[in-house]
Structure 1
Amino acid sequence: MPRRATKKRTPEEIRREKEALYADIDAGLLTIGQATRRMRKIVGLTQTEYAEKILKIYPRVLMEIERDRGNPTLETLEKIARPFGLKVGFVAKKSHLPGAGE
């Protein structure tokens, strides 16, 4: 299957895409699959390229994660997070934070 041509983006556009991604993650608006797919799209790679060259995982594993069907290990989640400077951990829902909902 031929790869679709993508428009060349400026470093500023890529920076804005990353900032939007981080904001959506912070707000809890994305599933792991949605966040992973956006990360891959930001760097402009196919699933196979991103899985093999960047994450060092099998493309099928990435495909399942992006579809929110996978059950990734902690190690795999860390591989996904690392290129974007993210860490895997527990995050409290905003409604469970002290002072929320009072």
Structure 2
Amino acid sequence: MKPPQNSTELKKELNRALDAGELTLGQATRQMRKIVGMTQKDYAKKVLNITPRILMAIENEKGNPTLDTLRKIGKPFGYDIGFIKRN
């Protein structure tokens, strides 16, 4: 399979990997940032409105983000946080 080359293909691959449950939160967050081509510092400050330290911790699987931070992470890509009630 040919690797994705542009942001549209990268977004499709991200969605596929998320749907398949193949990515951790940190991996998904890093991929989102790389798709837009920004540094951790710029992405944290300009897009997510969080500190770069928080973003770095999340990407390194060491963070414990709040629901508000999770919403900020997902928003630029149209993702939202939801809860499912199981019977």
One fold, TM greater than 0.5? yes
1:61 Cα offset (Å): 0.1
Displacement of 1:66 in angstroms is 0.2
Letter of the structure 1 residue corresponding to residue 64 of structure 2: N
Question: Which of 8, 12, 16 is residue 19 of structure 1 equivalent to?
Answer: 12
Q: Which amino acid in structure 1 is aligned with residue 13 of structure 2?
A: A
Which residue of 26, 47, 55 corresponds with 1:62? 55
Given the two structures, how large is their TM-score scaled by the length of structure 1?
Answer: 0.75
Structure 2, unaligned runs of 5 or more: none
Q: CA RMSD in A?
A: 1.2
2:26 alignment partner in structure 1: 33
Q: Report Cα offsets for 1:49-75 as digits up to 9, x if no partner.
A: 000000000000000000111000000
Task: Select 1:52's aligned residue among 30, 36, 45.
Answer: 45
List, as ranges, runs of 4+ consecutive aligned residues in structure 1 with deviation greater than 6 Å: none
Q: CA deviation at 1:84?
A: 0.2
* Distance across 1 between alignment mates of 2:81 and 2:28: 13
In structure 1, how many angstroms separate the alpha carbons of the residues matched to 2:82 and 2:60? Answer: 21
Measure the CA separation in 2 of the matches of 1:71 and 1:89: 17
Unaligned runs of 5+ in 1: 1-11, 92-102
Number of matched pairs: 80
Q: Given the two structures, how large is their TM-score scaled by the length of structure 2? A: 0.88
Which one has a bigger Cα radius of gyration? 1
C-alpha separation in 1, matches of 2:63 and 2:7: 27
2:6 alignment partner, SS class: helix
User: Deviation at 1:87?
Assistant: 1.1
Query: In percent, how many aligned pairs have the same letter?
Result: 56
